């Protein structure tokens, strides 16, 4: 996802059963959960989470309310601070697993946010232009990260190779070509997927693979181009779905998802979505989701937020989809700084009420809708 202030860019969430989700069993498992990538950062900056007025551990709170799979972003060498780097992600995975949840690891293959308009190559690879050498760098990095996590008992159950990879990937900073070189792109993604497969074999544990596209209307042409280049060896299609920025209505979403499943045989998960529970702002950081994000019958209230998730869950299930991931339900206000200000640009779309000291909202019940 991209932050639609002149600013920001993002990423989102997932839940699973207690058993590992492998490519052999995803079709029978409903996935719903949360991207909790900001938790370490905002807690270190003084944020707290509450239930019934008492401070709680957010990972345990989510787990106790039915979340079983946590999505986490990984930047190669973070530029703004240490968060979302490997050591921070290691800390987050440990928290998720200690709380009884599984993990979807989202490789951005960038040092900062990656989305359809920005896929900046990590600085460590900026001088690599040969696709073979770049593919080897991608493979070795992906494999090393996964084996390093495995050595600590922190291997993720699912891996996303790239974030919102609608267009080109691994591009010079600030540059995105209008036309995608699918031969290059497919080659690089195949190398990343091979690294995940090889790490899975070496670890002796299943890892499901996912390719992530922003907005449902772009999925079919994207998958057609991928198939033409032989890019088919992945388990799941991940989609970002924000009605504010999509041409696909909630009523037509089911048909879109079913077309993907029937044409390409891949289970679909909405891995990013969100809805405001208020239009108030808890800090000086402008909120991204405002009036324009609201849908009929779903006001910016706690119950309106939960109703959005209920209707979306119904639509996704009706279309043969396999889950929903919420982004980012725990990015509450704090003294943490972004590249665009201090605080949270998402406090009105979390599962916590800033006006009551971050008391948990009814939307936490979304994990148990089905």
Q: Which residues are catalytic?
A: 164, 272
Cα–Cα distance measured from residue 51 to residue 62, given in angstroms and rounded to the nearest whole number: 11
Q: Are 145 and 197 in contact (CB under 8 A)?
A: no
Q: Which two tokens stand for residue 323?
A: 């889950």
Q: Which two tokens stand for residue 223?
A: 């998958």
Cα–Cα distance measured from residue 92 to residue 85, given in angstroms and rounded to the nearest whole number: 11
How far is residue 294 CA from its own chain's centroid? 22
Q: Read off φ and ψ for residue 124, nearest 5 degrees.
A: -65, -20
User: Closest Cα partner for 36 from 357, 276, 350, 370?
Assistant: 350
Cα–Cα distance measured from residue 189 to residue 195, given in angstroms and rounded to the nearest whole number: 10
Cβ–Cβ contacts within 10 Å for residue 213, how many? Answer: 25
User: Closest Cα partner for 203 from 154, 157, 148, 147?
Assistant: 147
Q: Are 223 and 260 in contact (CB under 8 A)?
A: yes
């Amino acid at each position: 996802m991209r932050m639609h202030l002149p600013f920001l860019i993002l990423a989102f969430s997932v839940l699973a059963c207690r058993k590992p989700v492998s490519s052999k069993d995803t079709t029978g498992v409903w996935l719903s959960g949360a991207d909790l990538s900001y938790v370490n950062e905002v807690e270190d900056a003084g944020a707290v989470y509450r239930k019934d007025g008492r401070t709680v551990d957010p990972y345990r709170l989510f787990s106790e309310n039915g979340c079983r799979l946590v999505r986490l972003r990984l930047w190669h060498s973070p530029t703004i601070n240490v968060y979302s780097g490997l050591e921070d992600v290691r800390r987050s995975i440990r928290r998720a697993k200690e709380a009884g949840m599984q993990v979807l690891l989202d490789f951005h293959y960038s040092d900062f946010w990656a989305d359809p308009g920005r896929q900046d190559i990590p600085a460590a690879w900026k001088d690599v232009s040969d696709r073979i050498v770049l593919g080897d760098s991608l493979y070795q990095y992906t494999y090393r990260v996964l084996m390093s996590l495995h050595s600590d008992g922190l291997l993720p159950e699912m891996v996303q190779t790239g974030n919102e990879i609608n267009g080109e990937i691994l591009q010079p900073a600030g540059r995105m070509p209008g036309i995608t070189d699918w031969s290059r792109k497919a080659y690089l993604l195949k190398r990343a997927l091979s690294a995940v497969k090889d790490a899975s074999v070496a670890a002796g544990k299943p890892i499901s693979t996912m390719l992530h596209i922003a907005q449902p209307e772009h999925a079919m042409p994207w998958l057609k181009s991928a198939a033409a280049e032989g890019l088919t060896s992945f388990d799941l299609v991940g989609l970002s779905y924000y009605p504010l920025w999509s041409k696909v209505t909630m009523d037509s979403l089911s048909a879109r998802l079913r077309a993907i499943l029937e044409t390409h045989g891949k289970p679909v998960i909405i891995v990013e979505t969100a809805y405001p529970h208020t239009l108030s702002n808890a800090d000086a950081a402008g909120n991204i989701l405002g009036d324009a994000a609201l849908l009929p019958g779903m006001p910016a209230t706690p119950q309106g937020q939960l109703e959005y998730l209920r209707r979306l869950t119904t639509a996704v299930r009706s279309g043969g989809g396999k889950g929903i991931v919420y982004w980012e339900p725990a990015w509450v206000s704090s003294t943490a700084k972004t590249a665009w200000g201090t605080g949270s640009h998402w406090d009105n779309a979390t599962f916590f009420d800033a006006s009551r000291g971050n008391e948990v909202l009814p939307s936490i019940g979304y994990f148990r809708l089905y």
